[in-house]
Chains A and B, each alone.
Chain A
Amino acid sequence: MSEAPVTQQEYELDTSWMSTMGEWGMRAEPGKRGLTLEDIRIGSYGELPEISDNMSGHPRGSAERPDAYRVGGYGVRTLAEIWLDNATFLYEEALQRQWSSATDIPWETVEPLPDEVEEAECLLCTFFNEVEFVAGDVPARWIAQTTPDYLEPRHVLLAQVMDEARHMDVFRKRALANGGGLMRMSGATSGFVGSIDLARDFTEMSTRLHISGEGAVLTMFRMGELFGQNEAEKRMYRLCAQDEARHVAFGVMHLRYLNEACPERREEIHAYLDEAEAQIMAGLQNPAGTQAETSEALAILLGGSKSQYDEGHKKLLVIRRRQLKEYMQRVKTAGFGDRFENGRSTIPAQHAAAY
């Protein structure tokens, strides 16, 4: 053993980090619904920059590091591009209304169905799998593009991605649960639905996805309660409709905010709506439209059999009218209802023709 003396090196403990902080002394208090995102929008932590210069990804309100890398090439850096007034509410609602496709659907109520009915249901499940992939993938890309300063809408979109994952899995489960399987893909994602992913602007994407796409799908999901053959299917469609209505609410409220904050963009928004109305509301991507394979499947399900196709088709027309009417009402609620009065939109004519 060495007899060399052990020298104890002295280090000065550097606690300078302790004095580098955001605003201190916060005491957020929970309300009736617990401690929500809205409850912590206090002091400087609640201040929203109109334009964000946060390129390092530092959490809003935290102290910055001068040597931090510019990790985020955030494209969405102005408030009006993405904001909506009820984002905190929608996020908390999304968290508190989650459900499990494994345990909250009474799968035991699924019973063997006539082949044609099972095939029609499986075709729809295949279709919904396809379109919900898009509805999950697209917001996911925009989350990473958005400055962390706008954390509230980011959080809502993150919750949407979770919702869409559940929708994909629940329709896949249904297709594989009753002697059937997935059918041939509809190809919907190669048309307008797929083009949602080509949007270069967040509002363009949201108008296509949340207002037009998910608004149409919401009606489909609600219709599931009419054509569902058992309690499992009815519940599956009802719970998906609840989630979808929340996504639609995001789009409506964002568009309403943008309309007030940036009236100079109105014409651009109308152009997005023109495009959506010409395609998604009428074409192959809409099962309640006039020419899709999926609309035939829906008519069989609504009628109860292939021989009752005409009866089912009549019900489908009623649903189509509802879909168009609700779409017009949402666009009007968002502040763009003038298009239905000045002849710009063909939807009123489509609605009238559906009688």
Chain B
Amino acid sequence: MMPVFPSHAWFQAVREVYNGDASLHSGGGGACDTTAGLKVGDDGYLMVFEGLECADVRPAGEGEMSEADFIIEMPLALWKEMVANVQENGKADLDHTLNSIDLQQEESIAYSPADDQYRQDLFYRYNQNFQDFFDASSRVETIFDQA
């Protein structure tokens, strides 16, 4: 059954693809240690990277999101546009990488819930890993939540 974006099942499916492709774990996308929060519309997720793998992705409530080093927050429509773009092109095109989207906004899509720039900078320090993760979603047949 095709997972729906956004959903826990969808993130788990992408995680499996990401962890299973060794080519994504080198060349600037190597070891990465951080807990990233994702706010996708009303849903929250914590994505834990440990060494060369994405160790866990789990739904998270508002309180748990404070565990994240940084949170990537975008309107649901923009998340869907980004994932759809990846599905269409096999990876994000030049205007739909996380960093490109971030820089097109007045305020950064990433912020530290603890107001700690050192932790927010992890979004930049490990950016290739997050890009590889979402690019890996091109290999997960996806249906979109119509909400």
Residue of A nearest to B120 (CB): A329
Residue of B nearest to A253 (CB): B118
Known contacts A222-B99, A225-B99, A231-B94; decide if A249 and B31 are in contact (CB<8 Å): no
- On whether the beta carbons of B131 and A332 are closer than 8 Å, the reply is no
- On whether the beta carbons of B28 and A97 are closer than 8 Å, the reply is yes
Which of A33, A230, A235, A333 contacts B116, CB < 8 Å? A333
Residue of A nearest to B25 (CB): A96
Which of A89, A103, A226 contacts B103, CB < 8 Å? A226
Q: Mark B66-106, 1 if CB is under 8 A from A, else 0.
A: 00000000000000000000000000001001011011101
Q: Mark B117-144, 1 if CB is under 8 A from A, else 0.
A: 1101110111110010000000000000
Which of B30, B97, B124, B131 contacts A96, CB < 8 Å? B30
**Which A residues between 56 and 99 are near B, CB-CB below 8 angstroms?**
89, 92-93, 96-99
How many B residues touch A, CB cutoff 8 Å? 32
B20 within 8 A of A: no
Residue of B nearest to A330 (CB): B117
How many A residues touch B, CB cutoff 8 Å? 42
- On whether the beta carbons of B131 and A238 are closer than 8 Å, the reply is yes
Known contacts A97-B31, A225-B99, A226-B103; decide if A333 and B94 are in contact (CB<8 Å): no
**Which B residues between 13 and 41 are near A, CB-CB below 8 angstroms?**
26-33
- On whether the beta carbons of A239 and B104 are closer than 8 Å, the reply is no
Known contacts A99-B27, A322-B108; decide if A241 and B124 are in contact (CB<8 Å): yes
Which of B99, B103, B120 contacts A319, CB < 8 Å? B103
B64 within 8 A of A: no
Residue of B nearest to A241 (CB): B124
Residue of B nearest to A33 (CB): B51
B145 within 8 A of A: no
Known contacts A218-B124, A242-B124; decide if A98 and B99 are in contact (CB<8 Å): no
A246 within 8 A of B: yes
- On whether the beta carbons of B99 and A238 are closer than 8 Å, the reply is yes
A123 within 8 A of B: no
A355 and B27 CA atoms in complex are apart in Å by 38
Residue of B nearest to A96 (CB): B31
Residue of A nearest to B104 (CB): A226
A218 and B29 CA atoms in complex are apart in Å by 18
A333 and B118 CA atoms in complex are apart in Å by 7
For residue A234, which residues in chain B have a CB less than 8 angstroms away from its CB?
Answer: 94, 97, 100
A32 and B128 CA atoms in complex are apart in Å by 21
A149 and B118 CA atoms in complex are apart in Å by 26
Most A-side CB within 10 Å, residue of B99, B100, B102, B104: B99
B43 within 8 A of A: no
Nearest Cβ in chain A — how far from B27, in angstroms?
4
A253 and B118 CA atoms in complex are apart in Å by 8
- On whether the beta carbons of A226 and B128 are closer than 8 Å, the reply is no
For residue A235, which residues in chain B have a CB less than 8 angstroms away from its CB?
Answer: 28
Known contacts A32-B50, A96-B31, A252-B118; decide if A238 and B94 are in contact (CB<8 Å): no
A223 within 8 A of B: yes
**Which A residues between 223 and 256 are near B, CB-CB below 8 angstroms?**
223, 225-226, 228, 230-231, 234-235, 238-239, 241-242, 244-246, 248-249, 252-253, 256
Seen from chain A, the residues whose Cβ lies within 8 Å of a Cβ on chain B are 32-33, 89, 92-93, 96-100, 103-104, 218, 222-223, 225-226, 228, 230-231, 234-235, 238-239, 241-242, 244-246, 248-249, 252-253, 256, 318-319, 322, 326, 329-330, 332-333
Interchain residue pairs with CB less than 8 A apart (24): A32-B50, A33-B51, A97-B29, A99-B27, A218-B124, A222-B102, A222-B103, A222-B124, A226-B103, A226-B104, A231-B94, A234-B97, A234-B100, A238-B97, A238-B127, A239-B28, A241-B127, A242-B128, A245-B121, A245-B124, A253-B118, A319-B103, A329-B115, A333-B116
